[in-house]
Structure formats: structure tokens, C-alpha cells
């Protein structure tokens, strides 16, 4: 791709309103510069006046050089000048679970970004799944699971995922690893190249220990019932107060 003295104006598309490049368009090209190319009044409803597909399998890992290109009054939801598909999930790699019997608090959040670290817009769904969900030893022989409205996944158009209604079950003091997978639909890309359509991120959840005044009930830390107490956050001894005692 080597162009000069060219004006691209008044176009519209979901992606690449000025130029759309599949990886094959840039492979083995030594000169990927857009010199004195002007982009005016182009509109991308999803992203990128210039949009190119990152594909490590084909060797397409660097986009066109736009240092000498001119951009004027172009619009896009992300990547007003240049953009790619989502390439990375930004978010925590570990999380301390401090609440039981209710959604995670604070909520766990993620962001999908492109080659230029821009927040990706478009239809993207992110789904949490437990890694090795049949391994009961990791949760003291309890079956780990996720529940809540967000357990089936979140679908967004703005690139930010805020799991405000997600509950994860394991066992106090234990660790559980989940994989959050983001998938998007890019109709321009062949279905044989799913590597560019799916991203994943692993997060390890550490469940807090029970504290004094709590006991374990069905694998969860719960407050002791009225008239009882616990002395140890380690042994979880649950003692009953005597009904009559001298003061």
C-alpha cells in the first residue's frame, strides 16, 4: 500500500469508511505509507476511517503508516483516524471475593482494546466460565459455579464490561480460576479465521476467610445465629451462648 495525492471523501461504512484492509492487502509490502492522502467527511458507524485486520497467523502485525496522511472532519465511534478489531481484554488478573450470598462487590470490570489501545465499539459479548469446573477438590468438595444475571454473559456495544450482577461460589479461603471470553461478529472476515474474533482473559478469585462472628453454612461465610458466636476465624467453631449466666 503506497499512495499519494489522493482524496477520499464522503464515504460511510461500519468499519473503514475511507479504507478497509484485510491482512492479505498488506502482507509482504515493504512500503505501507499513505503519503499526502486526505480523508474528508467519512463516517464509520463502528470504527476506523482506516480499518485493518490484525492477523498474527498470516504475518500481518503492522498497519499502514499514516504519519503523512491528512484527516479532516471524519467521524467514528472509535479510531477516528485508524483502528483494528479488538485484540486484548484489559482487566484484573486476580480478585479477592469479600462477600457471600450476593453479587461481587465491587463489580469486576473489563475493557476490550484494539492495536492502538483504543476502546473497541461494536457488538461484543463476554461470557465467564469456570476453568476445570468438575474439580471439586479446589472448593473443599463443593461444586463451584457462577450465578446471577451476568452469569450467562454481557453483550455491549461500547467496549466496557461491568459485571454488576455476578456471584461466584467456591469455599472460604480457596481459589477459583475463571476465564472471561469476548466474542464479536465481523461479517467481513472469513469464518475460518476465528483467531481474530475471540479473546479471553483468566482471572483468579481468592475467597476470603470467615471472620469472628461468622460460621460456614453450605460453603459460605454467614453470620452466627442469634444467641451463638464463634471464637476463631480459622477453626470456624460455632458455640451456643448459655441461656442463663452470672454477670
Distance CA 183, CA 203 (A): 17
Distance CA 2, CA 109 (A): 41
Query: DSSP secondary-structure letter at 11?
Result: -
Chain segment 120-172, per-residue pLDDT in tens: 998 889 999 999 878 888 898 888 999 999 999 999 988 899 999 999 999 99
How many residues does the structure list for the chain?
247
Supply φ then ψ for residue 39, to 5 degrees.
Answer: -115, 120
Q: Is the pLDDT of residue 247 over 50?
A: no
- The rounded percent of the chain whose pLDDT value lies above 70 is 79
31 contacts: CB under 8 Å, gap ≥ 6: 1, 2
Q: Is the pLDDT of residue 3 over 80?
A: no
Q: Is the pLDDT of residue 237 over 90?
A: no
Three-state DSSP class for 119?
strand
So what's the pLDDT on residue 95? 98
So what's the pLDDT on residue 187? 56
Distance CA 125, CA 128 (A): 10
Residue 11, Cα to own-chain centre: how many angstroms? 31
Whether 71 contacts 83, CB under 8 Å = no
pTM (whole model) above 0.75: yes
So what's the pLDDT on residue 132? 85
Grid look-up 489522493 returns 6
Chain segment 63-80, per-residue pLDDT in tens: 888 999 999 999 999 999
Amino acid at each position: 500500500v503506497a499512495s499519494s495525492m489522493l482524496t477520499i471523501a464522503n464515504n460511510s461504512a461500519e468499519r473503514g469508511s475511507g479504507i478497509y484492509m484485510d491482512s492479505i492487502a498488506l502482507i509482504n509490502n515493504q512500503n505501507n505509507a499513505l503519503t499526502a492522502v486526505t480523508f474528508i467527511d467519512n463516517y464509520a458507524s463502528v470504527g476506523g476511517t482506516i480499518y485493518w485486520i490484525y492477523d498474527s497467523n498470516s504475518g500481518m502485525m503492522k498497519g499502514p503508516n499514516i504519519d503523512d496522511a491528512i484527516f479532516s472532519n471524519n467521524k467514528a465511534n472509535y479510531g477516528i483516524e485508524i483502528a483494528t478489531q479488538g485484540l486484548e481484554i484489559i482487566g484484573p488478573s486476580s480478585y479477592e471475593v469479600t462477600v457471600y450470598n450476593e453479587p461481587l462487590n465491587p463489580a469486576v470490570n473489563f475493557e476490550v482494546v484494539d492495536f492502538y489501545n483504543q476502546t473497541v465499539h461494536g457488538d461484543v459479548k463476554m461470557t465467564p466460565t469456570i476453568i476445570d469446573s468438575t474439580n471439586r477438590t479446589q472448593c473443599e468438595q463443593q461444586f463451584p459455579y457462577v450465578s446471577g444475571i451476568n452469569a450467562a454473559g454481557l453483550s455491549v456495544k461500547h467496549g466496557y464490561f461491568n459485571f454488576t450482577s455476578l456471584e461466584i461460589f467456591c469455599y472460604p479461603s480457596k481459589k477459583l480460576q475463571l476465564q472471561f471470553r469476548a466474542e464479536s461478529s465481523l461479517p467481513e472476515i472469513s469464518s475460518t479465521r476465528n483467531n481474530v474474533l475471540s479473546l479471553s482473559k483468566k482471572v483468579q478469585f481468592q475467597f476470603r476467610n470467615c471472620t469472628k462472628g461468622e460460621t460456614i453454612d453450605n460453603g459460605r461465610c454467614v453470620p452466627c445465629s442469634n444467641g451463638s458466636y464463634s471464637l476463631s476465624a480459622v477453626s470456624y467453631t460455632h458455640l451456643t451462648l448459655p441461656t442463663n449466666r452470672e454477670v
